[in-house]
Amino acid sequence: MTASPSPTEPPPVRVVIVDDHPVVRDGLRGMLEHERSITVVGEAAGGHEALPVIAAAVPDVVLMDLRMPLGDGIGAIRALRASDADHPRILVLTTYDTDRDIRAAMDAGANGYLLKDVPRADLVRAVHDLAAGRPVLTASALDALTGRREQTSLTARELDVLRVIASGGTNRSAAERLLVSEATVKTHLLHVYEKLGVSDRAAAVRVAYERHLL
């Protein structure tokens, strides 16, 4: 049971957990209530159930899963934002990190986006950051929102060409190995340069390694 805060401590952050898996809800409750500064004031198994729970509990932060049989998270976020644009703060906590899911959640009005494999300390920090008005985003979410992930996404053939170049190959050897023309190799390289924001093959290889594309 969460200990009562001392008179000099701020009140604990009030949290509602929305997830269709009871084991996940139990785990999150245990993780969060281990902290004196957080108290879980409600749970829901889906988006439809979440709305009255949140209205009754008046949480500071909601942990919202996305894909749930009893009402998806996106719809619940939209409904919450229709009644109040700022409160509660909503942290999407999910296993999905596609650009489509991230953008849909943030466009609906979520304030943060984390994956369920996040360490406990990071989750606790995220709850406090959101309660204080600071956004919380994974690196993949930030890339999706800024468009960087799409810009740096190389096709399979572009990666094939870049691997040959990275191993010291020439345009001709890349063409021979990949059974295409040298002109095709050059075209692929131009696309690689544009996507990575570089102007030569050495820089392309370096940036590709830095971004773990190779």
Task: Output DSSP code: residue 88.
Answer: S
Question: What is the reported pLDDT for 135?
Answer: 83
Of all residues in the chain, what percent carry a pLDDT higher than 70?
Answer: 92
Contacts of 185 (CB under 8 A, 6+ apart): 161, 171, 174, 175, 178
Other Cβ atoms within 10 Å of 25 Cβ, number: 19
The two three-digit tokens of residue 6, written as one number: 């001392």
Question: What is the reported pLDDT for 5?
Answer: 54
Q: How far apart are the C-alpha atoms of 21 and 30, rounded to whole Å?
A: 14
Domain spanning 152-210, CATH class: mainly alpha
Across the range 92-107, mean pLDDT stands at 86
- Domains of the chain: which residue ranges? 13-148, 152-210
Instruction: pLDDT band for 9, please (50, 70, 90 cuts).
Output: confident
Question: What is the reported pLDDT for 123?
Answer: 94
Burial of 106 (0-12, 13-18, 19+ CB in 10 A): buried
Question: What is the reported pLDDT for 194?
Answer: 83
Question: What is the reported pLDDT for 23?
Answer: 95
Half-sphere exposure of 52 (CA within 13 A, CB side): 3
Across the range 107-121, mean pLDDT stands at 91
Is residue 154 predicted with pLDDT exceeding 90? no
Is residue 171 predicted with pLDDT exceeding 70? yes
Is residue 98 predicted with pLDDT exceeding 80? no
Question: What is the reported pLDDT for 210?
Answer: 75
Domain 13-148 in CATH 3.20.20.140? The answer is: no
45-85 residue pLDDT tens:
999 999 999 999 999 999 999 999 999 999 999 999 999 99
